Amino acid sequence: MAAALLTSSLRLRGATEFVLAFYLVAFSLVVVLELLLSPGHDLTPGWLLAVLTGAVVVSAAVWVLVGRPRSPSFRPAASAMRDAVRDPLVAILAVAVLGAFGYVAALIVGTAPNDYDVLWYHLARAAFWKQQHAIAYVPGANDGRLNGFPPNAEIADSFTMILGRTERFAGFVQLSALVATMVAIAGIARRIGLSTRQALFGALLFATLPVVVLQSATAFNDLVFAAFLACCAYFLFSWTRLSLALAALALGLAIGTKITALLALPVLALLGAFLYPRRRWPALVLVGVAGVALGSYWYLFNFAKTRHFNGSVAQASQATPVGHGNTYSVAGVVAHTMRLAIDGVDPSGAVGRDRFLYVIAAAVVLVVGLRARRRAGALEVLLAAAIAAVPLAFQPVQHGLLHAYQKLWVSLSRHTLAFLGFDKHLTRASPFQSWYGPLGLLLVLAGFGLAWIGLRRGTLPRVAILLALAPVVWLVLQAITTFYSLFDGRYVIFAVALAAVLWGLVLPIRPLAWAATAIAVTAVALALLHYDEKPSGVGVLGGSAPMSVWDMSRAQVLARFLHPGETEVVATLEREARKGDTIELAIRREDVSYPYFGSRLDRRVVFAGDEATGVVMRAPAEANWLVVAPGMVLGPPDPVRNLNLPWKRVAGGHGWMLYRRV
At 369 the pLDDT is 77
Q: Specify burial of residue 18 (Cβ count, 10 A radius: 0-12, 13-18, 19+).
A: buried
Q: Whole-angstrom Cα distance, residue 41 to residue 33?
A: 13
Nearest CA-CA partner of 350 in 384, 393, 385: 393
Q: What angle do CA 644, 649, 655 make, to 5 degrees?
A: 120
Report d(CA 598, CA 579) in Å as an integer: 9
Cα→Cα distances 580→157, 271, 395, 497, 604, Å: 21, 52, 50, 44, 6
Distance from first CA to last CA of the chain, Å, rounded? 50
Question: What's residue 311's pLDDT?
Answer: 78
Residue 321: predicted pLDDT: 47
Whether residue 414 contacts residue 358, with contact meaning beta carbons closer than 8 Å, is answered with no
- Contact of 206 with 520, CB cutoff 8 Å: no
Residues with pLDDT less than 70, the chain: 313-326, 372-376, 544, 609-621, 634-645
- Tens-digit pLDDT profile for residues 407-424: 999 999 998 999 987 777
Distance CA 171, CA 533 (A): 15
Closest CA to 608 of 638, 646, 651: 638
Residues 6+ apart with CB under 8 A from 275: 236, 237, 463
Give CB contacts under 8 A, 24+ apart, made by 640-649.
Answer: 645/619, 645/620
Cβ proximity of 419 and 335 under 8 Å? no
- pTM for this prediction: 0.95
Is residue 137 within 8 Å of 603, Cβ to Cβ?
no
For residue 375, the model assigns a pLDDT of: 59
3-state DSSP of 480-529: HHCCECCCHHHHHHHHHHHHHCCHHHHCCCHHHHHHHHHHHHHHHHHHHH
pLDDT at 611: 45
Per-residue pLDDT tens for 116-150?
A: 999 999 999 999 999 999 999 999 899 999 999 99
In angstroms, the Cα distances linking 253 to 220, 227, 294, 374 are 16, 10, 7, 51
Pairing status of strand 656-661 against strand 625-628: antiparallel
CB–CB of 658/624 below 8 Å?
Answer: no
